[in-house]
Structure 1
Amino acid sequence: MSIETPAVEAEALPQPELIKVRFNELPVPSAILQAVTDLGFEYCTPIQGRVLRFTLAGHDAIGRAQTGTGKTAAFLITVIADLLKNPPSDERCLGEPRALVLAPTRELALQIAKDAADLGKYAGLSVVTLVGGMDYEKQRKQLAAAPVDIIVATPGRLIDFANKQEIYLDQVELLVIDEADRMLDMGFIPDVKRIVRLTPPKTHRQTLLFSATFTPDVMNLAGQWTYHPVTVEIEQEHATNALVEQKVYIVTTEQKIPLLLNLITQQKLERVMVFANRRDQTRRLTDILKAHNVSCALLSGDVPQEKRVKTLENFREGKISILVATDVAGRGIHVDGVSHVVNFTLPEQPDDYVHRIGRTGRAGTLGTSISFACEDDGHLIPELEKAIGRKLDCVRPPEELLAEIAEVKVIHGASGAEPAPRKPRPGGSTGNAGRRPPPRR
């Protein structure tokens, strides 16, 4: 798709008074409007209202907004609308997508693909997800079955397909790079550069780049990959959502487990995400909660990808009340109705705190973030306060939340995560002589 030089140059637009914009006031195809109505939305979020009037006209864009503000829908509506307005030729080749969305993590890519299916359910477009940690052959068969319109991919898996010449990117009309700052943090930029070189020149494609932060490195990449972009920034008074009540409970290390259990059971919480910094902490927490008959599941790097997908679906559908997670779930997981986020351990990186609590208080709803701070991690509070631009409410929890809990035998491995490998006994025998150890996932 050739794009004429837009009249708006690559400079940030002034921040106007935010006025509510209805989706039907924008040049959005009726097929998308019907899907948006089905999803229960009438008004655009601020980032959507400001960026869509440019991207729907074909402009490149660089967008920055707080997590949970609708960036995904903004670029997906643009992609779907363009593909509907510009039908493909009758002769199409397999493995040649018309639009490409790059995401840094599997969870985010799967979420984007789900949102694309929801927004495009009346559009008749095909969406294929290419992510690592899942069945390569199954993904290959999807590509080989029929022409594809939209590919949502993580960089590494996409390069695998490109290297094997099972996908070609020279017909990409729209390129979306989501969470560019996270791409930088995770070391994916060399891969992304390779991928961008496989697409048409930036003058012959529309490029949308979204990022939670505009660092010099991000802006340098945006300058390389976009053509006369419009830059849209939605400023917040604070780094965190004002709709999320934030409190910190000051406790001892030993009080954290009773506090968590009492908080969940006494307040009858039904849609909660509990974050811890390490995988072993999340495994232990999940085992303890299950031993006390709390409906919960684990989401961490230890859990096989197929099971992680199923766990997220069960959480979305309300089959699981508590999701215990590492920061692998801190970004890109959009689950409606999460009432509480609990930071069992304070994150060492302030950005992780912002993204964790961004899982609640989404789409204009109220949410609650409760952090447990003890002698091991309380020193992190000043840095968190500095990053979010406000003081945190640090208090002792009510006495009833510190009540002792009954001792229950914890079954090791109940969380479903793969246990750590057994160490050999002295003398070299493990009791399973001659057997090969199970493969590590």
Structure 2
Amino acid sequence: MAFSSLGLSAPLLQAIREHKYKEPYPVQEQAIPAIINGKDILGISKTGSGKTAGYVLPILELFQLRSSKGDRHIGALVIVPTRELAIQVNDVFKTFSKHLPQTIKTTAVFGGVSINPQMIAVRHTDVLIATPGRLLDLIDSKAVHISRADILVLDEADKMLNLGFKEEMDKIMAMLPEKRQNILFSATLNNDINDIQLQLLHEPVKIEIVDEESGSNIDQISQLAYNVTLERKGPFLRYLIKSENMEQVLVFTSAIRSAENLVGKLNKNGVQAAAFHGDLSQGTRVDNLRMFKEGRLRVLVATDLAARGIDIKDLPVVINFELPRSPKDYVHRIGRTGRADANGTAISLLCEDDQHHFKIIQKKMGKKVEIKESAEIDLHGF
């Protein structure tokens, strides 16, 4: 199937070609025509499966035929759980809207930064991408109104529930117009999602592509582990990066302190690296992630903050410098590579204390990982 058969106009098709999308992913094939036709959507689809474009493209198509709601009234509201996802979704809107004859303004708002510039930025916004808390702050400040929003998108609804946004979401829902189109995407279908869909959705089109938790994209990821002593772990990581000529590597640690220490040692030894964790300011996190995505930063050292909802196009390698606490987090971490039908590599560094936990991870994942010894590798100079 081609994008041209999904009901999208020529300017959007031009942007799709420039973005080098050859054919729609399954979630896009089903979601785009249904959204254009005004249907509610319940989509169960893993991250990296094309769902963002699956709702961005039809929303842009619909908004070419609509007039602005007014100075501070928005037409569509996209609610996301994290700041990083808000920025990412806004970038997708801007990418696909650049050739549209009618300007459609999209704005991302989130906490952790000053609210004043955002109060100015939301004026004349057509599509607002927001985290729940900052959205309520802007509503309380009379900077934005959602009472005329025709479209509501809940992206990563399962994660929002896990992060405890229910009270904020109840307040937001009460302010929205009763008559609207609802689009709900989640990586999992559980009781909480079932409850939300019963409350929100009217005769929805149900799209179930794959459950991210099943690790269905693991087959596209080449997994490998190395036994290494604690003392040799840092030098061995640098050896891997340099000897394999890795130019873009996402490295996971289990704690903020570990991430900062590792960044310092990598930079000291000539490997350009920066951190990504919750103690950094929003601006620093955005800058570090952007440099990494653009290839201007060789290594991004992250906590599990980066394990979900972050899409790094064609990321070749993920390295677990330290294992996560749960097998589920392991799957999410390595799932940053091997996305959208691309191949990827995931490497884990195992000390003696990690052996039992890694056996549990493999059992839960349903896949055995080759483990190599590293004792004979000469790490002098690394």
Which residue matches 1:213?
Answer: 188
Is 1:50 the counterpart of 2:30 in the alignment? Answer: yes
Question: Does the 8 Å contact 1:239/1:389 carry over to 2?
Answer: no
Question: Does the 8 Å contact 2:217/2:338 carry over to 1?
Answer: no
Question: Does the 8 Å contact 2:228/2:375 carry over to 1?
Answer: no
- Deviation for aligned residue 1:252: 2.6
- Deviation for aligned residue 1:240: 3.6
Q: Which has the larger radius of gyration?
A: 1
Which residue matches 1:83?
Answer: 63
- Deviation for aligned residue 1:238: 4.2
SS of residue paired to 2:238: helix
Which residue matches 1:228?
Answer: 203
Which residue matches 1:178?
Answer: 155
CA-to-aligned-CA distance 1:347-383 (integer Å, 9 cap, x gap) = 1123322221122122322110011222333332244
SS of residue paired to 1:242: helix
- Deviation for aligned residue 1:114: 0.7
SS of residue paired to 1:50: helix
| Code of the aligned partner of 1:112 | V
Distance 1:230 1:385 in 2: 36
Is 1:310 the counterpart of 2:287 in the alignment? Answer: yes
| Code of the aligned partner of 1:395 | K
SS of residue paired to 2:218: coil
Which residue matches 1:125?
Answer: 104
- Deviation for aligned residue 1:209: 0.8
Which residue matches 1:403?
Answer: 379
- Deviation for aligned residue 1:277: 1.3
CA-to-aligned-CA distance 1:149-172 (integer Å, 9 cap, x gap) = 110111110010112222111111
Greater share of residues in helix: 2
Which residue matches 1:36?
Answer: 16
The verdict on how the C-alpha distance between 1:190 and 1:25 changes in structure 2, with shifts beyond 3 A counting, is same
- Deviation for aligned residue 1:397: 4.0
Distance 1:155 1:394 in 2: 43
CA RMSD in angstroms comes to: 1.8
Is 1:245 the counterpart of 2:222 in the alignment? Answer: yes
- Greater Cα shift, 351-360 or 277-286: 351-360
Question: Does the 8 Å contact 2:252/2:322 carry over to 1?
Answer: yes
Distance 1:32 1:263 in 2: 42
Which residue matches 2:166?
Answer: 189
TM-score normalised by L of structure 2: 0.94
Question: Does the 8 Å contact 1:110/1:129 carry over to 2?
Answer: yes
SS of residue paired to 2:104: coil
Please show how residues 326-345 of structure 1 align to structure 2 within 5 Å: 326-345=303-322
Question: Does the 8 Å contact 2:217/2:339 carry over to 1?
Answer: no
| Code of the aligned partner of 1:65 | S
Structure 1: 5+ residue stretches without partners: 1-20, 407-441
Is 1:259 the counterpart of 2:236 in the alignment? Answer: yes
| Code of the aligned partner of 1:403 | L
Structure 2: 5+ residue stretches without partners: none
SS of residue paired to 2:347: strand
| 2:262 counterpart (272, 278, 285) | 285
Distance 1:133 1:395 in 2: 42
Distance 2:364 2:75 in 1: 40
Distance 1:31 1:130 in 2: 27
Number of aligned residue pairs: 378
Question: Does the 8 Å contact 2:41/2:204 carry over to 1?
Answer: yes
| Code of the aligned partner of 2:344 | G
| Code of the aligned partner of 1:234 | I
- Deviation for aligned residue 1:227: 1.2
Question: Does the 8 Å contact 2:33/2:58 carry over to 1?
Answer: no
CA-to-aligned-CA distance 1:270-299 (integer Å, 9 cap, x gap) = 011001111001001000000001011111
TM-score normalised by L of structure 1: 0.82
